[in-house]
Amino acid sequence: MTTVTQTVAAPSNPGWLHRAESWLDDKGKGAWIAAMVLGFIFFWPVGLALLAYMIWSKRMFSSCNRRKSWTRTGMTAMRSTGNSAFDNYKADTLARLEREQVEFEEFLKRLREAKDKAEFDEFMEERARSGRDSDDDAA
């Protein structure tokens, strides 16, 4: 079973509204949200109209097309280039970078644990010191 999708052709002489919509679509969801916020700031009915349009056209809840193209581009970076020397270099470099990232994350974990231990030891010393001081005051 096949489905038929209709595509709406762009008008031969698009107006400023169509050009603005295309420009905002090219920039992504953030541009639509920024336009809506600016609409609320300068003249609230414009912001409200943009919000209604974004919800009605499902721009508010759809994923950004640019992000999908980035994902596709990232996947093509892992394909073979045909140059085996470069592919080996790329694979070795990526493996080294992944290994360094894991080592760095482990270092940060040890650093946090050492800092936490030092703070805890200092807390316990202060507590013991205040306990001794209160015992000396009571005697």
d(C-alpha 3, C-alpha 109), whole Å: 53
pLDDT at res. 12: 63
Question: What does the angle CA 29 – CA 30 – CA 36 come to, to the nearest 5 degrees?
Answer: 95
* pLDDT over 90 percentage in the chain: 32
Range in 13-17, 54-58, 62-66 the model is least confident about: 62-66
Read off the pLDDT of each residue in 25-54 and give the average, rounded to a whole number. Answer: 82
User: What does each C-alpha distance from 136 to 105, 128, 130, 139 come to in angstroms?
Assistant: 46, 12, 10, 5
Predicted confidence (pLDDT) per residue in 98-139, tens digit: 999 999 999 999 999 999 999 999 999 999 988 787 776 665
Residue 8 has pLDDT above 70, yes or no: no
Quote the crossing angle between the two packed helices 29-42 and 44-56, to the nearest 10°. 150
